[in-house]
Amino acid sequence: MHQQLKFTAMGASCALLLAACGGSSDNHTVPPPPAAVAPVATKLETLSSTTRVMDSVVFSGGNAYLSLANSATEGSAVLSARLPLSATSSWTPVGLGACGMGPIGDFIQRSPKLKLVGGDIWLMQPWADTPEASDGHSTCTLAPNTASFAPRDQDLRTCNPYFCETLSMQDLKQANNRLYSNAGAGNNLLTSADKGNTWQVIRGSKDSQMCYPTKFHVMGDRVLVGGECPLDFAFVEAYRLTKDGGALASEDKLPLALPEMENRNVQFIEPVPDTQMVFVGVEGGLLRSTDNGNSFKFVIHEPLSGGKGYPYIGAFLPLKGKPGTIVIGGFDKMHGRPYLAWSEDSGASWKDISKLVPGYDSKQDDEFSTPSVSAITQDPDGRIIVVTNVRADSQGRLMQLTLGTN
């Protein structure tokens, strides 16, 4: 009797276990397969368009700010719209005050570039020595809770025995409570410890140079600089900074392992935050460092001639919240087309999605007409915003990029 009770108890326990697991010899049900996840297509959608060139967009205080070049009939402009952006967003002009550039007239078209640095929106634009621009400004800021841009280039006005000029900067960055800029182009690297009211020379001189502007990035007590000066002599170099970051600790270059640069001018130098990766865009290629900018290797490297393309990569965006995902853009000089690509393995391989960019099928014969991607950024909600121009001199498009799974 005891053995029978033991067997019965074991059988009951086993039955309960099978029931709990959903199993039964008499009523076995197979769970349904998981619902198929529809692939998401990579796409570019237009948020705004204009007949003029668009240069850049920044986000601050719940607003988007978009810069437009001057044209034959209209002066330069900065427009603002409330976030989040959509195709129905209403854009209104922001006051430029003394920082506006008038219609082109007989002079070349100019574009103001916007960048959010130190809590202010900075406007950087080419200064021109023309009668209508004699009182113009190259650098201005829009401080929080202000309605109009104000000049911030008083110490960039320089004079020699023959003429006076206002130095223009192409980029501005902040590091260690200092501002750094490439005002005056060439090998120039300047710094300011008082929010741009005064500037001191770190490298080069405080006047205009004939070469392309230096690209730069400050990394702790080092600064990386790159460019092409003299012309056709491309370089990337590293220098030690003084403790306060206000000067070079030495004129001696720091060791730097680089592949052969040829005459590939540097387009940008940017790190990936919270990693040891640094990227350098060059004509026809892209260099990557995985050791905090001490050594570099090509991850995109097209030959000077005879390759499948020759991209000039000037826009670079490592995505926040998506480690390893990077978007790059510019133009393909070989084919006269815009260039847009992305990577999901930290730049080891790239997916070319240039065909999505407006103007891709309208091949141009010179770089002054070539469609391009001029800026890539993320809005506060993490959406990827791309600034493109169907022509180098007109037809700007502000677009949202969705990276798909197919």
Going from N- to C-terminal start, the domains of the chain cover: 55-152, 257-406
Residues 6+ apart with CB under 8 A from 274: none
Q: What pLDDT is recorded for position 243?
A: 95
Show the CA angle centred on residue 135, arms to residues 129 and 140, nearest 5°: 100
Amino acid in the structure at residue 60? S
Q: State how far the Cα of 234 lies from the Cα of 283, in Å rounded to an integer.
A: 10
At 6, give phi and psi (nearest 5°): -60, -45
Identify the residue whose tokens are 């815009």: 338
At 154, give phi and psi (nearest 5°): -60, -35
Q: State how far the Cα of 300 lies from the Cα of 227, in Å rounded to an integer.
A: 18
Q: What pLDDT is recorded for position 143?
A: 87
Q: What pLDDT is recorded for position 17?
A: 37
Q: State how far the Cα of 253 lies from the Cα of 104, in Å rounded to an integer.
A: 43
The secondary structure of 150-216 as a DSSP string is EE--GGGEEE-SS-EEE---S-EEEETTEEEE-TTSTT-EEEESSTTSS-EEEES-SS--SSPPPEE
Per the DSSP assignment, residues forming a β-bridge with 399 are 46, 386
Q: What pLDDT is recorded for position 230?
A: 84
At 375, give phi and psi (nearest 5°): -160, 145
Identify the residue whose tokens are 């990693």: 275
13 conformational bin, left if phi > 0, alpha if psi -120 to 50, beta if neither: alpha
Q: What pLDDT is recorded for position 23?
A: 45
Q: State how far the Cα of 158 lies from the Cα of 177, in Å rounded to an integer.
A: 25
Q: What pLDDT is recorded for position 37?
A: 64
Q: What pLDDT is recorded for position 333?
A: 92
Residue 238 near residue 256 (C-beta atoms within 8 A):
yes
Q: State how far the Cα of 231 lies from the Cα of 237, in Å rounded to an integer.
A: 16
Q: What pLDDT is recorded for position 1?
A: 41
Residue 341 near residue 373 (C-beta atoms within 8 A):
no
Report cis status (omega within 30 of 0) of the bond before 230: yes
Residue 91 near residue 81 (C-beta atoms within 8 A):
yes
Q: What pLDDT is recorded for position 9?
A: 40
Instruction: Looking at 249-388, list the stretches that DSSP marks H as alpha helix, in order from N- to C-terminal side.
Output: none
Residue 152 near residue 196 (C-beta atoms within 8 A):
yes
Residue 81 near residue 102 (C-beta atoms within 8 A):
no
Over its length of 406 residues, how does the chain's per-residue pLDDT go in tens digits? 444 433 344 444 433 333 344 444 445 677 777 766 667 789 999 999 999 999 999 999 999 999 999 999 999 999 999 999 999 999 999 999 999 998 887 667 889 999 999 999 999 999 876 655 556 899 999 988 888 999 999 999 998 888 889 999 999 999 989 999 999 999 999 999 999 999 999 999 999 998 999 999 999 999 999 999 888 889 999 999 999 999 999 999 999 999 999 999 999 999 999 999 999 999 999 999 999 999 999 999 999 888 899 999 999 999 999 999 999 999 999 999 999 999 999 999 999 999 999 999 987 666 668 999 999 999 999 999 999 999 988 999 999 999 988 6
